[in-house]
A = this chain, B = another copy of it.
Amino acid sequence: MSDPRSARKPTLEDVAEAAGVSRATVSRVINGVRNVDPKLHAIVWQAVDATGYVPNRAARSLVTRRSGTVALVVSDAVSHDDDPFMRRFFADPFFGRIVGGVMSVLRPKGIQLALQIVGTDEARTRLVGDLGQGQADGAVVLSLHPDDTLPQQLYEGGIAAALVGRPAQPVPISYVDLANDAGGVLAAEHLIGRGCSRLGMITGPAHVPASQDRLTGFRQALARHGHAWFPTVEGGFTYESGETAMLELLERQPELDGVFVANDVMAQAAVMALRGRELRVPDDVAVVGFDDSSAALDARPQLTTVRHPLEDMAAEAARLVLSRIDDPSLRVESVIFDPKLVVRQSA
């Protein structure tokens, strides 16, 4: 074959000719439509092979009105291109784990994943238009901002979509989420179970619903055990903030013997801060993290933590989108995952 770029790519017509049948028959064979003579079946596939035919997606979706693509949309408040937040976001395992989860269900079905980042209202509106036009058949959505309007717009646009994480505002769109409060309960029970009595918590940012829920669950479980009050310090899910928060918590409650930290990265930092204060983990202070990320494994001692099954959740979100594409009349659905406690060495 000469220059493959200039060479005209074989079409259905070419295959048909090579097989001595009509274009329609070839199409049927390729798409696995029944009512085709088994003999032709073989002949056609042979011709496909001989010609090196590959279906043209554009032509196909033009008529089927299906793109065979699902979009993974990251919707953020403000993100010009070199937005430091987005830089951090992409570098965070959170993003990759979701991609991996979504891929695990899309790939076997031969469905494409198209990545979309929308930071402005204009971009959001355009996205909904593009999706409505069929650029993708549906979307798995990561809505990063509490008052993001995208979920509502997707609903109004009639787009098949599923959110990863409960929407801050109630919207008739399917979503998957983690029972974050149950995670808080798990942490509390474990800490109390091992005899801790002077507890504290390093929370995530107050405006993040998941943070709130973790705190709520932790608080309620402690209350059930008679701990009406405990000190909390708000962190920002970063290592730095975890370190600072731990130190502040220690100041507020020097007798501390157990901490629940809203994510592993901060927990890892907390452990280091405690060691810096000559406090042994878990003997003097027990630490429970959240996520079961690599930070939990990389901490010394390794972190006892609450497992956040992000990959599974993202995969389920993809499944929700797919089933809704198949049958748009399906009712809105939410799937809540239960967190599990992973006991290691820090508590």
| Residues of chain B lying within 8 A (CB to CB) of residue A99 | 90, 95, 99, 115
B103 adjacent to A96 (CB under 8 Å) = no
Query: Considering the complex, which residues of chain A in the window 290-335 have a beta carbon less than 8 Å from any beta carbon of chain B?
Result: 293-294, 297-298, 300, 311, 328
| Residues of chain B lying within 8 A (CB to CB) of residue A239 | 294, 297-298
| Residues of chain B lying within 8 A (CB to CB) of residue A42 | none
Q: Is A104 an interface residue (CB 8 A)?
A: yes
| Residues of chain B lying within 8 A (CB to CB) of residue A112 | 114-116, 135
Number of copies of this chain that the complex holds: 2
Query: Considering the complex, which residues of chain A in the window 119-143 have a beta carbon less than 8 Å from any beta carbon of chain B?
Result: 129-130, 132-135
B96 adjacent to A81 (CB under 8 Å) = no
Q: How far is the CB of A306 from chain B (nearest CB, A)?
A: 17
Given A56-B62, A112-B114, A100 and B96 contact (CB-CB distance below 8 Å) = no
Q: Which of B54, B95, B133 contacts A55 (CB 8 A)?
A: B133
How many residues does chain A have at the interface if contact means C-beta atoms less than 8 Å apart? 63
Query: Considering the complex, which residues of chain A in the window 75-112 have a beta carbon less than 8 Å from any beta carbon of chain B?
Result: 81-82, 86-87, 89-93, 95-97, 99-100, 103-104, 107-108, 112
Q: Is A156 an interface residue (CB 8 A)?
A: yes
Given A130-B54, A158-B3, A86 and B100 contact (CB-CB distance below 8 Å) = yes
| Residues of chain B lying within 8 A (CB to CB) of residue A287 | none
Q: How far is the CB of A66 from chain B (nearest CB, A)?
A: 9
CB<8 Å pairs between A and B, sample of 27: A3-B158, A4-B156, A5-B158, A9-B132, A52-B129, A54-B133, A58-B58, A58-B59, A62-B62, A69-B114, A72-B115, A87-B97, A90-B93, A90-B97, A90-B103, A91-B96, A91-B100, A92-B93, A93-B93, A99-B99, A112-B114, A112-B115, A112-B135, A114-B115, A239-B298, A265-B298, A272-B300
Per CB-CB distance, the 7 closest pairs between chain A and chain B, nearest first, are A90-B100, A4-B158, A90-B96, A239-B298, A5-B158, A91-B93, A54-B133
Q: Which residues of A approach B to under 8 Å, CB–CB?
A: 3-5, 9, 52, 54-59, 61-62, 67, 69, 72, 81-82, 86-87, 89-93, 95-97, 99-100, 103-104, 107-108, 112-117, 129-130, 132-135, 156-158, 239-240, 265, 268-269, 272, 276, 293-294, 297-298, 300, 311, 328
Contacts A58-B61, A93-B96, A114-B114 given; 9 further ones with Cβ under 8 A? A4-B156, A57-B58, A81-B108, A82-B104, A92-B93, A95-B96, A99-B115, A239-B294, A239-B298
